[in-house]
Structure 1
Amino acid sequence: MSKLIVIDGNSVAYRAFYALPLLSNSSGLHTNAVYGFTTMLLKLIEEQKPTHFLVAFDAGKATFRHKDYEQYKGGREKTPPELSEQFPILKQLLGAFGIKQFELEGYEADDIIGTLTKLADDQKLDVLVVTGDKDMLQLASDHVTIALTRKGISEVELYSPAYIKETYGLAPHQIIDLKGLMGDSSDNIPGIPGVGEKTALKLLHQYGSVEAVLENSDELKGKMKERVQSHADDARMSKELATIFRAVPMELSLDEMAFSGYEEEALGQMFQKLEFKSLLDKMELGTGGGAEAADTAIEVSVTVVDSESLDKLASKLQGIRSVYVEAIGDNPHLAEVVGIGLSDGSESYYIAIEDLKLEAAEPIRNWLADADVEKVSYDVHRAEVALHWQGIVLQGCRFDVQLAGYLLDPTEASHSLAAIASRYSFPGLQEDDAVYGKGAKFKLPAVEELAKHLGRKAAYVAKLSPELDKLLDSNDMKSLFHDLELPLSHVLAGMEEQGVKVNADELKRLGKELSERIDELVKQIHELAGGEFNLNSPKQLGEVLFDRLGLPVIKKTKTGYSTDAEVLEKLAPRHEIVRHLLIYRQLAKLQSTYIEGLLKEVREETGKIHTYYKQTIAATGRLSSQYPNLQNIPIRLEEGRKIRKAFVPSEEGWYILAADYSQIELRVLAHISQDEKLMEAFFKEMDIHTKTAMDVFGVAEDEVDANMRRSAKAVNFGIVYGISDYGLSQNLDITRGEAAKFIEQYFAVFQGVRKYMEDIVSSARTDGYVTTLLHRRRYLPEIKASNYNLRSFAERTAMNTPIQGTAADIIKLAMVQVAERLKEEKRRSRMLLQVHDELVFEVPAEELEEMKVLVPDVMENALDLSVPLKADVSFGSNWYEAK
């Protein structure tokens, strides 16, 4: 039996955007609306099993309704750019799903859906309309069900004619009469002033329609009679505006909307681009490189080296230059090393890890550890770390195919070896998923197939290395690669292998302290509530806040009152219980995620946490800490800061020393823009946020209050990240109009910054990319897009990438240079962590004074800027004391 699903694209995207926190991928593209929309699509496909599918969009702002009423939808604020930029991506995603999309100039999605449902009614075809707009209820019929989104978009409520009758006491066609009487502020439909839903329903239950209410207005009394009679024309017009037009001239056949299921490879590639890792894992989607890829692979002869033939391989090592280490598992510190592939480009060899550990394999291990023997590899950092835990040393790698592929285009969705090979004209290498399977289907193949796969990988590394090195040279990135990124990969591997000592007893003590604080909060909350209840139950919490304590209802869900973070933030000024609840939630998360979570990450044999720094994720060049993420330990709450007390030196009598760049991105902005006012602030060592407040508000230094400085700080950092008026309004809890005015005032004062923003966008449009001061490149093909939203996103990215990317490059330079100094001077001090703009060390007492000078000296001179770099240094017996 045929079933058509039609989605109101704009309505559902808007609801998804506001229901989910702002998410973005490593390219900086916001993805929360697309992610929410995607989860809805997957749920609909699974539960409803449609045979036909369509998503309808509004084609533009002006529709035929504006001809009759210019103020139609006039009260709506401009769509936030964080949402606008997601519409083109959403439409690409629908293409990957194989779902038809449609829009028509002059008409709204409502009208397209209304026309389709009329046709479906005529053909007795079952239709499910998914929307967040109650106006659509007028379309319900025996064959058309309206699914209204609830809880953002995670749930829907199904409205049939019977359910509409039960809920409102109206037939579907009377929904337009309801809107005619009560109006709709979201669409700027006036209705009759003073008539809300309750009054409108009462009138309709009595008279049946707008026209009948107007005809019988003499029966009404007092002010209601006066309002109805004086706004009769508004009511008629409002009903007309709310009426969905069901005769849109569209040539769209049912066959064009046919849906036979999504194509896994296309959807998998889209999810990779958007970095929807949880969906990729959950759905076990493939991303190409199956058996058909193997057919076009480069011919490689692969020999399996076993315990009997190790000596033969040892005699051939002189001609081998490529090493590929296969470590299974996301975290290289816990990965299972199954073996290595070695190659000269045409002849390859495979050795299982157990054979590599044999006494007879010592010459091969020595060759791997020889720093003077030049080798090439893929993901050298991961390979070094994984082999380290097997007691095997890897040194001498002079090229890394993954790092090179990432630098040549950091915005690519995948930097797997197969993906890089395919991009640079070496097709045919299978992706790991095609060989091993994915998720629950993962299984290592037989030795011959495994050897063939790893041997091929090693050969591809050998062939790709010289080609990618030439491309780095032609793109002016050879120094970035050889002098910064590759040396950094060895520095990171050393830091991670060293690890950071964790005082588990201190963590447990903090956990006990937190538990006591949480218990105390629960007791206070129960006292304020007048009785005990489950704080983690939204239903019980809603009853306490809104029924028992009478707090105003902000929003409702299908199951009752909403008690999400946004609601509690708005209610916090009204009652002490809400302020306690917000603190309770923060502390409960600290307890579960950071106390219990970090305790699980302490390696038993070392007593340390060994995080993993990924170099090839962020398009800006920033490092990403994983397994666990030590860059995310919350420090705004004192209880969060205290977690750093558990990070201690690994040797008795040593200190933790921390050095933190001061406002590095704003200093980079001052250098790049050459803005006189910004530069003046840094030369005079003024507080930059106070200086900005003085200039923007036109006040003296002693007149800058806390709110002025807070606003200035938000706009300073917002400018660096390409903030919009919407983003700034959310940060400062002000209107978008006020935020836009503030941004305009900022640019009026800091004209050098404005000129930089204009010039860099112009340059990006000409070149197709932007670069950091160290020539890290980021391509922006969308900068020339005809689509405004795509183009706007690319323009904001062009503005902030050189700033963020240069700041990332500077701290990486500092890490490499500090490591070199420590080695040259034979220091015992060790670099342990990089957290945003901060470097953390463990230092013996006798080196403390020298390190307090050495570290900031290197950091402040890592790169020569036209304003001084500044690094603040501190120390203590643990990381907490060092801040």
Structure 2
Amino acid sequence: MTKKMMLIDGNSIAYRAFFALPLLNNDKGIHTNAIYGFTTMLTKMIEEEKPSHILVAFDAGKTTFRHKTFSEYKGGRQKTPSELSEQFPFIRDLLNAYSIKHYELDQYEADDIIGTVSLQAEKKGYKVVVVSGDKDLTQLSSDQTRVDITRKGITDMESYTPEHIQEKYGLTPEQIIDMKGLMGDSSDNIPGVPGVGEKTAIKLLKQFGTLEDLLESTEEVKGAKLKEKLIEFKDQAKMSKNLATITRVAPVEINFEELERVEPDQEKLRTIFKELSFNSLLEKLSGSEEEEEIKLKDLKWERADAITKSMLSDQAELYIELYDVNYHTAQILGIGLHHSDGTYFIPADVAQQSSLFKAWIEDETKLKSVYDAKQSIIAFSRLGMDLKGIDFDLLIASYVIDASQAADDFASIAKRHGADAVQSDESLYGKGAKKSVPEDEVLGEHIARKAAAIGKIKDRCVNELEKNEQYDLFEDLELPLAEVLAEMERKGVLVDVNRLKEMGEELKSKLAHIEADIHRLAGETFNINSPKQLGVILFEKLGLPAVKKTKTGYSTSADVLEKLQPEHEIIDHILLYRQLGKLQSTYIEGLLKVVNKETDKIHTRYNQVLTQTGRLSSIDPNLQNIPIRLEEGRKIRQAFIPSKDDWVMFAADYSQIELRVLAHISQDDGLIEAFRNDMDIHTKTAMDVFNVAREDVTSGMRRHAKAVNFGIVYGISDYGLSQSLDIPRKEAAEFIKRYLESYPKVKEYMDDIIQEAKQNGYVSTLLQRRRYIPEITSRNFNLRGFAERTAMNTPIQGTAADIIKKAMLDMALRLKKEGLKANMLLQVHDELIFECPKDELEILQKIVPEVMESAVELVVPLKVDFSYGNTWYDAK
């Protein structure tokens, strides 16, 4: 059986992936587009080629043996964007998880490693496949070696065999080097012969064979000017060929046995995919997670078929078990109850029928420690009970202690804090089609054990919160906020279902008109949603330039279409058709699916323990993600209405809260002055950075200033800003430099917070929310760079999150104190949405800004804008 060696140019493929895919981030802010693209390419190539041996080669550094010949080799290249650099360590980690050898060699490039190993493999009788984005490697093509070069993207490959090279250029693989010697290579800063391009080089080589033969026979060259150039730049041509030649005798020390392909480490891959939020790749992993064998300690528990006074206590641990993640609708399987005198499993129907238990649940003086207060409050409300007296929440406590530890399930959280005698829900119930409820004895022990575990963990968590000076954050903000969120979720927001359906019909009508326009401009009818058919229309019939090709045809992705907008009016229609199509399917139809059929209300679920910055998120539906850039998207908010006649929707949002937090934390005089004088901060920044008077600030200057103002908060780089504003990186870097010169204490804050993170291992918000950043002291420059940006932006984003949470808590108390009928319905980013009777509007206009603006005291005023109307849309 023929052995097959696959050799991958790691740097080249990572670069291709980075620039081919839009910037992607996981929930920790790590850029992942290059990692994702690299992984996609790798798995696809392995699946298609089924190599017996595999190696990924990387460049070892900027300096190579070629620099001794020509110091300016690769001199024109821009610095690698930090957003890409930070991804290389993860790519190497992934290769380790795939059990794939990766290798680099000081003073040599990845090309040289591949050239050397491919020759060794050929001598050993291997078939070789080289994968790269760099056409230089086509010189390695032979009867045994095929070189696959990526085209525009990462999975669309062009295969170079000697036959293909002959067909494409009329040359042999060896002559590729001669061609490079003549025409040079701007990407590697190889000079070649000035004025000689690819066509001329090919023509000359077809006539003379090699560069050396050509240079010895220049008198036979036609064209005086060309002849003169070849004579004048003879030595430069030879040097260029030398630079372009891949060495095949590099001192590579690799045993081929190390390259033999073995099965990936599924657990390592699963861990990395989870960390990077590669959910689609996670689903493709084979096998299930091996459950850790849990040693169950002896636990005495009782099944309670009736509830007695002796079972209830002044202080207890309480756990309610649900069979699904959606606690608004999930089946309630039972209740665990634990205190110093006993541990009990209470079936749901027994609890529901007991007036004694209901009275205990609703007694504020009877203290209960729970897991997930919000879920517990809503679940007990479904049993007709108003849960009161919650004094501890394991889920929230664990999140406040360390938000970087994902809150996967009860068992993992319990184990993290020292209680390892709890089985995971998945191992108990199974998953997918095999999921089922076990017999009562097994179920009862599982639920009782969870209640007992809360008791074991509580003191340890409280001690850690107190040690970290975070108990106030836990007790005074997060725990009571869970009750506020539960009330908001339980109330829900009324949806005008008919209006939603009308919008759906309106969108269908618009889509039909746009479809007709597209067909008219195309000159024929076709399936617009078919990339293949659309590609034929755009690039063959209409003759538009093909930006990117795939194996199945032309790419018609959004980024491709945006580049083609100036070329033909059909493109604008297609882009709008897609946007409206997504509104129709994802948002109109998506919202209709989650409306409660009996009440016409939507009950979103707020995730209080997800983000590392403390921000709330929402699911089923995600109300924070309704697109509002298009008017049709904004109009979706028309369907959100007050729950009673003669009521209105009232919306209030913080103005530029993160920049105000930055002014407070940095104590920068310029920012403080701007906010205290109620100046437009973007105009002020443009004045300072461009050194112009207020009246001379153009809309373009303000747009640039706005981008850098908000970008600074997120630790933006010159590359990120250049992408955002569509300007050169050099210009973006200069803009950031001038910004930091204009606001020197912002720069000082950035430097100080990085030092603080290095010293402590974490950064904190004003309310002591911590984010641990272990990578801040990494020896790896790229990981450290990412950690430094995280250190800079977390105190700002996190404090802004704390402020709106505090405002929600204060608003709930104030509405109650004023005895108002108004309800707080939704939280979306920096905005709170209420419903209220019209006769309460006047007082709401007074107290909402008052409460929100005084939630936390900063050196600059917090500013709240508000509006109201018959729908959420009208209240904007």
TM-score range relative to shorter protein: over 0.9
- The 3-state SS of whatever aligns with 1:786 is coil
Which residue identity lines up with residue 447 of structure 2 in the other structure? L
Distance 1:312 1:253, change over 3 A: same
* 1:177/1:633 CA distance change after superposition, 3 Å: same
Pair 1:658 & 2:651 matched: yes
Equivalent in 641, 650, 655 of residue 634 of structure 2: 641
Separation in 2, partners of 1:515, 1:194: 57
Match of 2:691 in 1: 698
CA, structure 1 residues 314+153, in 2 after alignment: closer, same or farther (shift >3 Å)? farther
Distance change >3 Å, CA 579–CA 454, structure 1 → 2: same
Instruction: Tell me whether 1:125 sits opposite 2:140 in the alignment.
Output: no
Following superposition, the deviation at residue 179 of structure 1 comes to 3.0
C-alpha RMSD of the superposition: 2.6
Contact 1:498 1:832 in 2 (8 A): yes
Which residue number in structure 1 is paired with residue 300 of structure 2?
Answer: 301
Match of 2:577 in 1: 584
Tell me the equivalent position of 2:322: 327
Q: Deviations over 1:58-99 (max 9, x none)?
A: 121111122212222222211111111111222223233333
Say which of 236, 239, 254 aligns to 1:237.
Answer: 239
Is 2:65 the partner of 1:70? no
Q: Which amino acid aligns with 1:95?
A: N
- Counterpart of 2:11 in structure 1 is 10
Cα distance change, pair 291–684 in 1 and its aligned pair in 2 (3 A): closer
1:189-208 aligned within 5 A: 189-208=190-209
- Equivalent-residue separation in structure 2 for 1:237 and 1:442 (angstroms): 68
Give the alignment partner of residue 875 of structure 1, picking from 829, 844, 868: 868
Paired position in structure 1 for 2:833: 840
Cα distance, 1:116 vs structure 2: 1.8
SS of 2:556's equivalent in the other structure is: coil
Q: Is the 8 A contact 1:319 1:344 kept in 2?
A: no
2:249 corresponds in structure 1 to 247
- Find the aligned partners of 2:783 and 2:59 in 1 and give their Cα distance: 17
Q: Structure 2 residue aligned with 1:819, among 812, 818, 835?
A: 812
1:245-264 CA distance string (max 9 Å, x none):
22222322123234421222
C-alpha change, 1:506 and 1:140, in structure 2 (3 Å) is same
Q: Is the 8 A contact 2:481 2:808 kept in 1?
A: yes
1:126 Cα deviation after fit: 3.7
Q: Give 2:269's aligned amino acid.
A: L
**1:344 equivalent in structure 2:** 339
- Alpha-carbon contact 1:402-1:416 (below 8 Å) kept: no
Q: Residue 458 of structure 2 aligns to a residue in which SS?
A: helix
1:794 aligns with 2:787: yes
Residue in 1 that maps onto 2:280 = 278
CA displacement 1:477-515 (0-9 Å, x = unmatched): 001111111111111111111111111211122222222
**CA 559–46 in structure 1, closer or farther in 2 if over 3 Å, else same:** closer
Contact 1:301/1:346, CA 8 A, preserved across alignment: no
TM-superposed deviation, 1:584? 2.5
Matched residue pairs, number?
874
- 2:467 is equivalent to residue 474 of structure 1: yes
Task: Give, in whole Å, the separation in 2 of the partners of 1:29 and 1:754.
Answer: 22
Q: How far, CA to CA, are the matches of 2:436 and 2:150 in structure 1?
A: 41
The question of whether the paired residues in 1 share the 8 Å contact of 2:824 and 2:834 is answered with yes
Counterparts of 1:235 and 1:539 in 2: how far apart (Å)?
44
Residue 617 of structure 1 deviates from its aligned partner by: 1.5
Between 279-288 and 648-657, the greater mean CA deviation after superposition: 279-288
Q: Give the match for residue 449 of structure 1.
A: 442
Which moves more between the two structures, 363-372 or 598-607?
363-372
1:31 maps onto 2:6 in alignment: no
User: Is the 1:269–1:287 Cα contact (8 Å) retained in structure 2?
Assistant: no
Q: Deviation at 1:142?
A: 4.2
Counterparts of 2:170 and 2:343, CA distance in 1: 77
CA distance in 1, matches of 2:428, 2:762: 36
> Would you say the 8 A contact 2:307–2:356 is kept in 1?
no
CA–CA separation in structure 2 for the residues paired with 1:176 and 1:340:
75
The CA deviation at 1:136 is: 2.3
**Equivalent of 1:316 in 311, 317, 334:** 311
Q: 2:667 aligns with which of 655, 674, 692?
A: 674
Unpaired segments of 5 or more residues in structure 1?
none
Identity of aligned residues (%): 56
SS in 1 for 2:312: helix
Cα contact 2:306–2:350 (8 A) shared by 1: no
User: Could you tell me how far 1:699 is from its partner in structure 2?
Assistant: 0.9
Deviation at 1:725, TM superposition (A): 0.3
**Aligned CA distance change for structure 1 residues 872 and 415 (closer, same or farther; 3 Å):** same
Cα separation, partners in 2 of 1:459 and 1:114, compared to 1, 3 Å: farther
**Counterpart Cα distance in 2 of 1:124 and 1:387:** 71
Q: The residue matched to 1:702 in structure 2 has which SS?
A: helix
Cα distance in 2 for partners of 1:221, 1:20 equals 46
Equivalent residue, structure 1, for 2:714:
721
1:452-475 C-alpha deviation (Å, 9 max, x unpaired): 333332222221111011101100
Counterparts in 2 of 1:47 and 1:529: CA distance versus 1, 3 Å: closer
Name the CA distance, whole Å, in 2 between partners of 1:321 and 1:783. Answer: 41
Tell me the residue number matched to 1:115: 116
Q: CA deviation at 1:845?
A: 1.5
Q: 1:68 to 1:429 in 2, by over 3 A?
A: farther
CA, structure 1 residues 145+391, in 2 after alignment: closer, same or farther (shift >3 Å)? farther
Question: By how many angstroms is 1:401 displaced?
Answer: 1.4
The CA deviation at 1:225 is 4.5
Q: TM-score, normalised by structure 2?
A: 0.94
What does 1:460-499 correspond to in 2, within 5 Å?
Answer: 460-499=453-492
What code does the residue aligned with 1:281 have?
A: E
Q: Which residue of 1 aligns with 2:601?
A: 608
Bigger Cα displacement from structure 2, 565-574 vs 739-748: 565-574
The Cα shift of 1:44 comes to 4.1
Cα distance in structure 1, aligned partners of 2:672 and 2:273:
43
Matches of 1:450 and 1:202, distance apart in 2: 80
Secondary structure, aligned partner of 2:812 = helix
Equivalent residue number for residue 493 of structure 2: 500
**1:784·1:791 contact (CA, 8 Å) conserved in 2?**
yes
Give the aligned partner of residue 93 of structure 1.
94
Q: How far apart, CA to CA, are the structure 2 residues paired with 1:791 and 1:62?
A: 23
Tell me which of 405, 408, 419 is aligned to 2:398.
Answer: 405
Which residue identity lines up with residue 233 of structure 1 in the other structure? Answer: D
**In the superposition, relative to structure 1, how do residues 757 and 832 fare at CA in structure 2: closer, same or farther (>3 Å)?**
same
Check the 8 A contact 1:300/1:346 in 2, yes or no.
no
Aligned residues of 2:4 and 2:52 also touching (Cα < 8 A): yes
Change (3 A) 1:737 1:440: farther
Name the SS of the counterpart of 1:421 in structure 2: helix
Distance 1:425 1:171, change over 3 A: farther
Taking a change above 3 Å as real, the CA distance of residues 467 and 168 of structure 1, as seen in their structure-2 partners, is: same
In structure 1, C-alpha distance between the alignment counterparts of 2:213 and 2:445, rounded to whole Å: 81
Asked whether the 8 Å contact 2:396–2:609 carries over to 1, the reply is yes
Please state whether the residue corresponding to 1:635 is helix, strand or coil.
coil
How many Å separate the matches in 2 of 1:36 and 1:369?
Answer: 54
Match of 2:452, SS state, is helix
Alignment of 1:769-788 (within 5 A): 769-788=762-781
Letter of the 1:316 counterpart: M
Letter in 2 for 1:629: N
Matched-pair contact (CA < 8 Å) for 1:345–1:462: no
Quote the Cα distance in structure 2 between the aligned partners of 1:364 and 1:284.
46
The AA in structure 2 aligned to 1:384 is I
State the 1:705 CA deviation. Answer: 0.9
Shift of residue 574 of structure 1? 4.1
Following TM superposition, by how much is the alpha carbon of 1:414 offset from its aligned partner in structure 2, in angstroms?
A: 4.6
Deviations 1:234-285 (CA, angstroms, capped at 9, x unpaired)? 4333332222222222322123234421222222222222222333334366
Deviations along 1:416-452, whole A, 9 cap, x unmatched?
3333333333335433333333445544444433333
1:824: how far off? 2.3
Matched, 1:741 2:734: yes
Contact 1:284 1:438 in 2 (8 A): no
Residue 860 of structure 1 pairs with residue 853 of structure 2: yes
Q: How far apart in 2 are the matches of 1:597 and 1:549? A: 36
The 2-side partners of 1:298 and 1:208 are apart by: 81
Q: Would you say the 8 A contact 2:418–2:457 is kept in 1?
A: no
Instruction: Work out the CA distance in 2 between the residues paired with 1:218 and 1:537.
Output: 57
Q: Secondary structure at the match of 1:843?
A: strand
How many Å apart are 1:748 and its aligned residue?
A: 0.8
Paired residue type of 1:741:
E
Deviation at residue 218 of structure 1 after TM alignment = 4.2
Distance 1:714 1:416 in 2: 39
1:56 positional shift: 1.9
